Structures are given as structure tokens and as C-alpha cells.
Amino acid sequence: MDSENKLLNLVQTVLEELKVLRQEFKAQNVALAAAKNEMRELKISHKCFEKIMLQISGSVEDIQDKVDSQASTVTTPALHEVVETLEVKMKSYAEATKSAHISFCQEQEIEKANQFARMKNVRISGLPESEKEEVKSVVTKFLTETLDVPNPDLAHAYRIGNKGTQPRAIIVKFVDQAQRDMALANKAILKGQRIWLDPDLTPLQVEARRKELAKVKEAQDAARARSLDKSLDLHNRLIMTRLGEVQETSIFEAEARVLDKGALGESQILLEAVGSTIF
């Protein structure tokens, strides 16, 4: 009987440990998913991601140690099979973590190379397009005459996208980055001309900027709403103050009339004054 109780207690302990391990496994899956999202959105640096991956790897090792310790105490085939299955899942999870880390590093390197290749580029939108134009000559003239960039030295300039009713954007690559920076510094000249000059950003940079602009707009809208609430509150306070002054003035006038006419009609005169103020 004692041996059966000990076996039951051991089984119960192992099952509870397995339940805890499953919960930890789910939590680590959530952490990995969050890390992947951060990786895709490029919101964290390489070092930060390294730290996350090390934390996850450490957690996997801890869970693996717990599984191994339970495996040594298991005496029934069924429980041994459960523990072995969990061990396989842990190994698979560790491999997935390592694969995600490698994938992130590769994507980071590709993104860095892409950004470096665009460092001397600008994108021009809205510049009129004509048939059989020589784009490089058009851009050179635009930079010289409109943006005050003297003797622009261009590696290449070409339009992107399919022809339509609107002029296609132009990608321009400068030989000298200083000239590219000068063009961007002078872009305020284009205000009101419906021509835009911007850095040539990667898709990830464009997405990150779009999200940042959305956050700024949301904050501005919230600030406007708070400002409007304060203005309305101040307006209401001024109205109430003014009404109070008018009512107080009317009562003073009524008291003066009482003094003139005597105390006989005092109540009636005061009521009339207050009533005229309210209605």
C-alpha cells in the first residue's frame, strides 16, 4: 500500500511539473513571437535582439534541465513517453530560436546594405514628364536652377513605375553625398510648387516613418481635443461669472428701489428682479 501511495505521489508530482513546463513553453513561444514582430518592424537594435534571444535560449535550457530531472524519476512507460515527447519539443524549440536569430541577423545585414546603397540618393516627385526626355539632363537643370546646387554631378537618374496621368517619381544618385545633402537642405524652396524632394528610403524605413507619423498625428489630435475641452470650460466659467454679476447687479438695483418705495413692497420687488434675471 505504501509503495502504491508513493507511486501515486510521484505520478502527481511529475504531472504537476509537466503542467508547469507546458505553461513555460507557451510563455517562451509568446516571447519568440514578440521578438519576431519587433524584428519585422525594425524597432529594436541588433544588440537588443541578441539580448532577447539569449534570454529565450537560457529559458529553454532551464526548461530542458527540468525535463531531464523529471525523466530520471519516471517509472511508468506512459509518463516516460510524455517526458520524451516534451524533450523533443524543447529541442525543436531551441532549433527554432536559433533559426530565428540567424534569420534576423541576415535581414539586418541586408537592410544595412540596402540603406548604405541609398545614402547618396534622393527621390523627386511631381517633376513634369515629357516624351523622349533625357532624365539626367532634366534633373541637372532642376537642381541647378531651382535648388541652387552648383554643377551637380550625377551618377544616374531614372524614373520609376509605369506611365500614367501623373509624372513618375525620379530616383537620383549623386556622385558626391555633400551635393545630395545640399539638395535636401534647400528643399524648402519647393514649397507651394507641388514638387517634392525626399531621401530615398528602404521599404522598412518608409513603414517605420509612416508609423511614427501616425503616432505624431494621434498625439496632435489628442492635444487639440484637450485644448478644446479647456477652451469650452473657460468659456462656460466666463458665462457663469457674467450671469452671477448680472444677477447680483439686479438685486442691488432692487434693494435701491425698496429704499425708495419703502419696505411695504420689498419682497415683491426682489422677486421681480430675480425673476427678470433668470428668465
Q: Is 142 in contact with 172 (CB distance < 8 Å)?
A: no
Rounded Cα gap, residues 58 and 93, in angstroms: 12
Q: What torsion do the CA atoms of 4, 10, 13, 18 make, to the nearest 10 degrees? A: -120
Task: Name the grid cell of 69.
Answer: 530531472
Supply the pLDDT for residue 270.
45
Residue 103 scores a pLDDT above 60: yes
Distance CA 104, CA 83 (A): 31
What is the average per-residue pLDDT within 40-52? 56
pLDDT tier at 274, thresholds 50, 70, 90: very low
pLDDT above 60 (res 29): yes
* In the predicted structure, residue 164 carries a pLDDT above the cut 60: yes
Under the banding of pLDDT at 50, 70 and 90, the label for residue 263 is very low
* 185, pLDDT greater than 90: yes
The domain 121-200 having CATH identifier 3.30.70.1820: the answer here is: yes
| Neighbouring residues of 189: CB distance < 8 A, sequence distance ≥ 6 | 146, 147, 148
Q: Per-residue pLDDT for 63 more than 80? A: no
Go through the chain and tell me how many residues it has: 279
Q: What are residue 124's DSSP bridge partners? A: 170, 197
- Whether the model clears a pTM of 0.85, i.e. scores above it, the answer is no
Are the C-beta atoms of residues 197 and 190 closer than 8 Å to each other?
yes
Average pLDDT over residues 2-27: 64
The answer to whether residue 246 scores a pLDDT higher than 60 is: no
Residues of the chain above pLDDT 90, percent = 30
CA 114 to chain centre: 22
- Per DSSP, the three-state class of 157 is strand
Task: List the alpha helices (DSSP H) in 72-134.
Answer: 77-117
- Residue 276: is its pLDDT beyond 90? no
Residue 229 has a pLDDT of 74
Summarize the confidence of residues 33-38 as an average pLDDT: 63
Q: Average pLDDT of 157-163?
A: 93
Of residues 18 and 211, which shows the higher confidence score?
211
Residue 118 has a pLDDT of 95
Rg of the Cα trace of the chain?
38
Mean pLDDT of the chain: 75
pLDDT value at position 25?
64
Give the full edge-to-edge strand order of the sheet including 196-199. Answer: 154-159, 170-174, 121-125, 196-199
Highest average pLDDT, of 11-20, 83-92, 163-172, 222-231, comes from 163-172
63, 97 contact by CB (below 8 A):
no
Highest mean pLDDT among 68-77, 127-136, 268-277: 127-136
Q: Which residue has the higher pLDDT, 227 or 42?
A: 227
